[in-house]
Structure 1
Amino acid sequence: MTVRARDWGFPLLGEPGRFNAITDVEGVLVGYQTTIAGDGDLSVGQGPVRTGVTAILPRPENILTQPCAAGVHSFNGNGELTGAHWINERGAMSSPILITNTHAVGPCHRGVINWANSQPDRSIAPAWIFPVVGETYDGYLNDIDGDHVSAEQAVAALESGKSGPVLEGSVGGGTGMVCYGFKGGNGTSSRVVRYGETRYTVGAFVQANFGKRSELTVCGDPVGSRLVDYPNPIESDPNWRQPPGSGSLIVVIATDAPLLPGECEALARRATLGAGRTGTTGSHFSGDIFLAFSTANPGQLQSTPPLDPDADLVNENLEFVPWGRMNPLFEAAVQSVEEAILNALVVNEDMTGRDGRHIPAFPAGHVRGAAIQTPAV
């Protein structure tokens, strides 16, 4: 059984969904392709492979033709999320989302195009597509320049998408990532939001590769200050020139609550607060980019050329939560992002990567106190 942050008794707020994952938002799927090869003893520049691709599909059956309202927030732009300009322009997204390493954005971008063109009914593929691909840097543990991610792997990640429990830790795009000096990677969480008689879900997925050890905070407890003597190779390595806190953080927030594009952007901004609860002060060398989308209002927010200029013009209609009622959704987003980052730390193991570099796993039992030797599962 996977041991997550809640299993260690961390006092996390809010009501999680069934799987405590982004897939609690109905219809959202997550898939992976992971590549781990080499024993860590190769020479500089020829290190082993610790990388992969993560795929998030908002509408697995018809995302190409049924856009989702969406918004993007860049807390720190030292990173990449392709397609963001088009999302900001039209307030909607018509692409699945891939997350990988910094130097694999290209093949993943091509992979989304290949996947779109391979759909059984080719007519549903648009005349053009702006794939959404995010990245964080895994070059400390992974041979990032070795061309180890292909368009075919990106397609395979998309085709492997599943609902239900989500793999966390060192899988997919998160395989070679480091967070607060510990082994980082993928994490997810969700919250149920009660809206009168309706129950909405907000789910977050993170690829966590950021944070300085001394900043690490768990549920308000500045544990990083007590772990300064715990092994921290990435910050003590004399051959590693990146300052502490370098890396990046990609956050994807999904909800089934009906939202306007501007409300999605506001939801994405709240990821900043969720990350901040874990201690980060936002290193200049960390690209922290956040995306939020709503699966409600199917069929709306279209952007297709008018094939018949003389046809009757039809307006679209959006249902949306009023701005004055957004606070519970904001709270859910902050809580989900915080817990997703903690899960990325907790659901992990030590990893040795390129040139023998070793990153330890987060010592959850030590943080919870010497009396806690095993998680309460």
Structure 2
Amino acid sequence: MSASVKSNTGNFFEDFRPGQTLVHATPQTLTEGDVALYRALTGGRYAQYSSAEFAKAAGLPGLCIDPLHAFHVVFGKTVPDVSLNAVANLGYADGRFLRPVMPGDTLRAVSEVIGRKENSTGRTGVVWVRTTGLNQREEEVLSYVRWVMVNKRDPETPSAETVVPELREAVPALALAGYPAMKEWDFAASGSRHVLEDYEIGERINHVDGMTVQEAEHQTATRLYQNTAKVHFDFHGQKQSRFGKRLVYGGVVISIARSLAFNGLGNAGQILAINGGTHAGPLFAWDTIYAWSEVLDKAELSETCGALRLRLVAVKDTDPGAFAWKDSAGKYDPAVLLDFDYWAAIPRAR
């Protein structure tokens, strides 16, 4: 008896065409339980994502889903169609968080293929997609571009037409959306006295604390977002990979590094935009994440709310106070896991 083919083996490089729309499966309703589990897995301490009363006083509708949590859920929807056969997730750009996501909201994802370029080896290629997350009212809650290196199904397939999208370096401050009024801000409850005016462009902040990632934790976190990438789960299959073991999902690194950034950026808890991001190195179970930040820019959004453009650098098993990043040739230090450029809302001086 012949075997039927009903399982999804994912798209290969040859399957992607610029202009193609991918409607991703399995909408996900987020609950207060998801909020608690996300906090347990990341150690997040930002006040507006810990206290409903604080959030409402600060101008949010209530205890919202952390923007990065929503991002990971939307990202997870895309994996079976975009990156199931990926070699690596290469980067992010032009990410915008457009409105709060509340417990009870249901998120789904749609992606448009906006570029592709075959690599010189002929075995892989890079695919660019713009993904949009929508809620149950069909409102856009977030949007971002990412690019991935994807295996070809057949290396002998002729080269595909090259289309490389133009991506802006950063989301302009004037385009930032979804920031709260921040008219009331309890600095004692937030754990920090620092406001927009206290930070200087070029300033570097050592976040001091570290967090070791264990096998069960990173797999639970990735399952929370319904991310099905084989490299994070299949211990047996990954024995044959170049690392010989499972990789920790890069989103785990982003969220833990952001949680560590509380120590020094306690009032900058709400991400408004992602300007760019690079997973510079792999993380494995029992590695320890540390983080440092650099202030790249500042903006005044209203009389009570501003924004910091921040570079968040996650490093593993090394002193974050050494500020490891790139050498003079632009090559990342071996300790660097993540280079993440984003805008965050922060209250202004009263």
Normalising by structure 2, we get a TM-score of 0.28
Hey, which of these two has a bigger chunk of helix by percent? 1
Q: Which has the higher contact order (CA 8 A, sep 6+)?
A: 1
